[in-house]
Amino acid sequence: MVRKWAGRAVLLYILFVAVMYWYIFYGADTSIPQALRGTAADPATFLNARELKLSEEYSGLRNFLFFVSTPYEWLLYFFVLLFGFSKAFEKSALGTSKWKVIQTGIYLFWLSLVSYLALFPISFIGYRMSKSYHISTQNFTSWMKDEVIDFWVNFGMMFIIVSVLYWLMKKSVKKWWLYAWLLSIPFSLFLMFLQPVLIDPLYNEFYPLKNKELETEILALAAQAEIPAEHVYEVNMAEKTNALNAYVTGIGSNSRIVLWDTILNKLEEDEILFIMAHEMAHYVEKHIYIGIAGYLGMTLVGLWLTSKIMNYFIRRWGHMLKIHSVDSISSLPLFLLITAVLLFASSPLSNYVSRYQETRADRYAIEMTGDKESAITTFQELTRAGLSQVNPPLLVKWLRYSHPTMLERISTVENDDTKDY
């Protein structure tokens, strides 16, 4: 029976990968609409032939890798259950200590280690691919350092979450999902508060913006937007990537305006001010808090569905999966599998909301700066630096794009008839 289910899972995975390969490289239409050819949104007007070729290649490979890795992770959790690895991890933990918290830590360490090793080849392929297309500038030692930090940060976070989650399951088999959701509210806010000052500096060095004239102009925009910022930070990303980014992070007194140094190296001042105005728009329009509310709402629904699905699976296939009850720590891979699938299924909705917010932020930035030309050249440079596909396949857009496509962003600005922002 185990071999039969394993064979079916592998066959289904191979079929999915084959379909996505055909769709991304042959089936999807990524051509520029006739009405937009020759406009500022047409990549042929701002990328040379080599850049055009590389952007199509790199985007296609990156999208395909996403559709390979996502169900591969689901397959991993399924096999950990099906072949009894989860049960073995549980026995190892139970035999090592009588303390529940230590048992949880030991089990989670083995599961995290196996998951990391199984997923490492895909992560390495992604790293090598970005290096070969000159997106990443990071050497292997630095990349591995970030990987190790990732492992332990994720382990620490999961240890806290899993310890509390399975304690709640022990206390209330029927209502654990509700209590878990209630506790997730202060925990999520606490993490957002700590992220800029505790977690982010583990990966990169942050320091006040060196260009004080530019900082003054950015802070003037922040004051106009009524953002209580006293400093603008830059982060040394040039040693890791050629991509461009900026963001406003944190909540409350830990809010920060952050610029990657790659932006400072590659963009003109007017383009930088447009990007900062865009990021400030998220603060002004309360997108951070709307995002938190949306996340908490989806978490509530997700935990409720996970509870129902876990109970059903254990009742019907618990013996095959070696799980005797929901509150057994060996059920964790099932929990992770279900939540990963639900997150993937909900991504079209969350991405749609995010794209709407990004469109609003673009509009706000143009109104604040009064500079449509800088908006267009910024989008064009972002495309060039990241070798982004201007018009990606529709399915890729639904499942991956939290921002509007560059075709949409540039054409929206170019076709806006408003004369005076």
Annotated active-site positions, please? 279
Give the integer Cα–Cα distance in Å for 65 and 135: 16
The closest of 137, 233, 249 to 196, measured between CA atoms, is 249
State the angle between helix axes of 85-96 and 100-132 in degrees (0 to 180), rounded to the nearest 10.
Answer: 130
Report the C-alpha gap between 274 and 421 in whole angstroms: 13
Label residues 160-178 b or e (16+ Cβ within 10 Å = b).
Answer: eebbbbbbbbeeeeeebbe
Please state, in angstroms and rounded to a whole number, the distance separating the CA atoms of residues 73 and 336: 10
Q: Are 128 and 140 a contacting pair, CB within 8 Å?
A: no
Contact 271, 366 (CB under 8 A): no
Secondary structure letter of residue 344 according to DSSP: H
Triad 34, 386, 272: Cα angle to 5°: 95
- Shortest CA distance to 92 belongs to which of 319, 326, 402, 329? 329
Structure tokens at 263: 């932006």
All residues at 6 or more sequence positions from 29 whose CB lies less than 8 Å from its CB, including other chains: 393
3-state secondary structure of 409: helix
Strand 256-260 and strand 232-235: the pairing is: parallel
Spatial CB neighbours of 49, under 8 Å, sequence gap ≥ 6: none
H or E element in which residue 312 lies: helix 287-321
The sheet carrying 246-249 orders its strands as 206-208, 232-235, 256-260, 246-249
Which DSSP helix (H) or strand (E) runs through 234? strand 232-235
Q: How far apart are CA 409 and CA 40, in angstroms?
A: 10
